[in-house]
């Protein structure tokens, strides 16, 4: 009996298409940065990066607080 090969990604999140997600995110960024100069685009990504880092810092602090006795 041969085992049927399956795509492991479909087992993680049923119905999730990572390639489609990437395409949608790229399209959103392209639309938001349309007409911006290179300097404005760098600033756009810098702000996004700062926001992401702050969000991660808050999540880590929240988890640490939950794990305190």
Non-local (6+) Cβ contacts of 18 within 8 A are 9
Q: pLDDT at position 53, please?
A: 97
Give the global pTM: 0.63
pLDDT score, position 24: 97
User: Once rounded to an integer, what is the mean pLDDT over residues 6-31?
Assistant: 84
Using one digit for the tens of pLDDT, what is the confidence trace for 22-54?
A: 999 999 999 999 999 999 999 999 999 999 999
């Amino acid at each position: 009996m041969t085992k049927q090969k399956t795509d492991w990604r479909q087992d993680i999140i049923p119905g999730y298409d990572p390639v489609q997600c990437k395409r949608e995110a790229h399209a959103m960024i392209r639309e938001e940065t349309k007409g911006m100069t290179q300097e404005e685009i760098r600033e756009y990504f810098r702000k996004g990066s700062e926001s992401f880092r702050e969000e991660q810092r808050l999540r880590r602090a929240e988890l640490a607080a939950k794990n305190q006795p």
